[in-house]
Amino acid sequence: EAQVTQNPRYLITVTGKKLTVTCSQNMNHEYMSWYRQDPGLGLRQIYYSMNVEVTDKGDVPEGYKVSRKEKRNFPLILESPSPNQTSLYFCASSFVGTSTDTQYFGPGTRLTVL
Amino acid sequence: AQTVTQSQPEMSVQEAETVTLSCTYDTSESDYYLFWYKQPPSRQMILVIRQEAYKQQNATENRFSVNFQKAAKSFSLKISDSQLGDAAMYFCAYRSGLDTDKLIFGTGTRLQVFP
């Protein structure tokens, strides 16, 4: 089954404690990205990757890091989480520039930073 | 920069009735794609319908259809014969036709369906 998986689905942590949210896709997609969803703001892109070892900032990258060492995985790293990073996070993947395809979204990760 | 605006934070509809959700966007590009996503309480993002800007014909998917007005930069979603399962948050999204898969989302419209 084609899917994007994220772990953990729920996470409560404290300010400053490094954490990683994993994302994995099984569709051999080149493009992967991370979004955060906040009430009244919709979804905003954090980082994206066009392929292995190719990553770039989205619209709200501050406080986040990513890496793309393998095509299937695209972890999101919060080195020193702060309460303003409390949000719902989505990972998404797709083939690059294919007009007939669209992005597949993971199930979301609810992060709370105390 | 492209922007997407959903001016209706909340809408409601009676079961079996029709409802239209509004979306406007701003872009200087001529080649792009527009989407409506549904987000039920499970929080999963579900693609409802998509429209290629170069196609004049409005997209339809069963009970869901769009009214795409390219000159007015408007992309509304019509849900016919509304069902209780249609209750969700709906997001309008824009994607450039350039070699990028970035989606730009509106702020969402929460749809309630009453029996």
3-state secondary structure A1-50: CCCEEEECCEEEECCCCCEEEEEEECCCCCEEEEEEEECCCEEEEEEEEE
| Residue from A34, A2, A41, A37 nearest A20 by CA | A34
Rounded Cα gap, residues B78 and B111, in angstroms: 12
Residue A106 has pLDDT above 90, yes or no: yes
Q: pLDDT tens digits, residue range A28-74?
A: 999 999 999 999 999 999 999 989 999 999 999 999 999 999 999 99
**Which of B45, B47, B99 lies nearest to residue A90, judging by beta carbons?**
B45
Res. A101 pLDDT band, cuts 50 70 90: low
Res. A2 pLDDT band, cuts 50 70 90: confident
Cβ separation B43–A58 shorter than 8 A: no
Write down the pLDDT at residue A97. 61
Chain A residues within an 8 Å CB radius of B91: 42-43
Res. A99 pLDDT band, cuts 50 70 90: low
CA distances from A81 to A11, A51, B45 (A): 12, 26, 25
**Min Cα–Cα distance to chain A from B55, Å:** 12
Chain B residues within an 8 Å CB radius of A96: 99, 101
Which residues of chain B carry a pLDDT beneath 50? none
Write down the pLDDT at residue A86. 98
CB B60 within 8 A of CB B78: no
Write down the pLDDT at residue B99. 64
Residue A100 has pLDDT above 60, yes or no: no
Rounded Cα gap, residues A45 and B100, in angstroms: 12
Rounded Cα gap, residues B20 and A18, in angstroms: 44
Cβ separation B33–A103 shorter than 8 A: no
> Is the CB of residue B89 less than 8 Å away from at least one CB of chain A?
no
| A100-106: average pLDDT | 80
Per-residue exposure over A83-113, b if at least 16 CB sit within 10 Å of its own CB, e if not? eebbbbbbbbbbeeeeeeebbbbbbbbebeb
Query: Over chain A, what is the mean pLDDT?
Result: 93
The pair of three-digit structure tokens given for residue B110, joined into one six-digit string: 């929460």
Cβ separation B106–A92 shorter than 8 A: no
High-pLDDT (> 70) share of chain A, %:
96
